[in-house]
Structure formats: structure tokens, C-alpha cells
Copies of this chain bind each other. A is one copy, B any other.
Amino acid sequence: MNILITAGGTSESIDTVRSISNHATGRLGAIIADTFAKAGSHITYVCSEHAMLPTCENVEQISIQNVEQLLKTLETLLHERSFDCVIHSMAVSDYRPQTVLTMEDIAEALMKLTQQSDFSQEDLLPDICTAILNAGKPLNDKKISSAASNMLLLLEKTPKVIRCIKAIQPHTLLVGFKLLSQVSRLELLDAGQQLLRQNDCDFVLANDLKNIKDDTHKAFLINKDGILQDAKTKQDIAEMIFKYVSERLEERK
């Protein structure tokens, strides 16, 4: 099998010395990669800089830092090679820094707006939002000054990387990952189903941070019909994914 695995967490620069990072270690991704590689699969392993690496051979490693690099790398790989399955375990930043604002920037923008606009009118929200969006200083190659007692970091949504996978290779099997924190089982399974539907995943691994500690890693593997199986450790998860992916690929032959 030819398998593409993403692992670790992306990191988005604020300035030359700071960034917003996802904590993911890549440990689960590395164990999944080793489980598939041991069974003879060729693995393309796209991971972040500090991510844990698989120990097996047959693993080709590509390192990325931010969402933009991840997207470009996956697009290139998916156009150039055919994958039987894509296992997208990487924690991808939902937001990235867009501009930085001081309180003064916002005050100035608001003052200007009050001089131009009729504040008796009902909905000034869009105008105020636009004013704030335009008030920030673009982030550049300099280190942000640390003079102000407060600072506002305006974040913008990153593109949904997972969407490119089936868009480019509609016939690859896609395993998505949903990680939430401190939610009910029902909420977790609902969020998993939503990810599955919105991105045309074949399987989703749904897990909650509260159930991940040391060797314990509780998770559900779901498909559109509901829960297929649950697991209690990272090794369990890897074997569970391997089993269902292999079965599905076998059925297709």
C-alpha cells in the first residue's frame, strides 16, 4: 500500500522570534506509520519540525512548518503520486496571525469612524469590524516592539487543508482526526460525523484530550454509520486504523 500520513502540529509565525504552535507531538502519527510500514506499506510522512518520527524503513519524511507549506506539499504530492490512503493526523492551526494592533490603533480607528458615521443607525457592527481589520499593522520581518502594556493579535482563518485531499484524489481512502477537549461523548461523536461529512472522510478518529494521558489514549473510529470500534492506547488506535483501512482496500480489489 502507498500511504500518506501527516503528523505533529503546524506553527504560524507572529514575527521573527515568536509563533503560535499546536502542541501535538506526532507520537500517534509515528506509531501509525510504523504499523503500516511493518506490513510492507510505503509511507510518505509529512510532519512538523519537532514531530516524533517513525522508526521503520520505507518511510519518506517531508518536514513542513505552517499551514501554507502543508497545503502546498500535500497538493504537490497528491498531484504527482497516487495514494491508497491518506491518514491526516496532523494538528493544523485553525488561525494564523494577520496583523498586530495596539489599543491606540483601535481608538484611532473608532474615533475616525464616529466622525464619519451616523451612530443612531442600528447596525454599525460591520463598519466597526472593517475599521478594526484595517487598523492593524501588517506583520513583517521585524520583532514586534514590547512597549505597550497590552497588544491585540488579529488572527485570520487558515484554509481547510483536509479539503484538498479528496478534491485531488477522489478515490483515496481518507482518515480524518477530530480532537476536542472536555466534551461529552455525544458532542465528540457529532463533531466527528460533521468532519466526516464535510470533508468526505471514509473514517474519522474522534478523541478528547481528557482521555489522553501517558500510555492511555482513548478514541473512537467512526464511519458514516457510527462507531466502528474504540481503542485505549496509541498502539490500539494504529492497529484499528490499519485493520479497517486494509479491509476496505481489500474489498476494492
Binding site for B on A (CB under 8 A): 9, 11, 14-24, 50, 91, 93-95, 98, 101, 103-104, 106-108, 110-111, 114-115, 119, 124-125, 128-129, 132-133, 141-143, 146, 148-157, 179-182, 209
Q: A179 CB to closest chain B CB, in angstroms?
A: 7
* Known contacts A22-B17, A125-B111, A128-B103; is-contact A149 B154 (Cβ 8 Å): no
**How distant is the Cα of A3 from the Cα of B226 in the complex, in angstroms?**
59
**How distant is the Cα of A174 from the Cα of B95 in the complex, in angstroms?**
39
Chain B contacts for A98, CB-based, 8 A: 150
**How distant is the Cα of A157 from the Cα of B19 in the complex, in angstroms?**
16
The reply to whether B153 and A157 contact each other, CB–CB distance below 8 Å, is no
Q: A124 CB to closest chain B CB, in angstroms?
A: 6
Q: What number of copies of this chain does the assembly contain?
A: 2
The reply to whether A181 and B150 contact each other, CB–CB distance below 8 Å, is no
The reply to whether B107 and A179 contact each other, CB–CB distance below 8 Å, is no
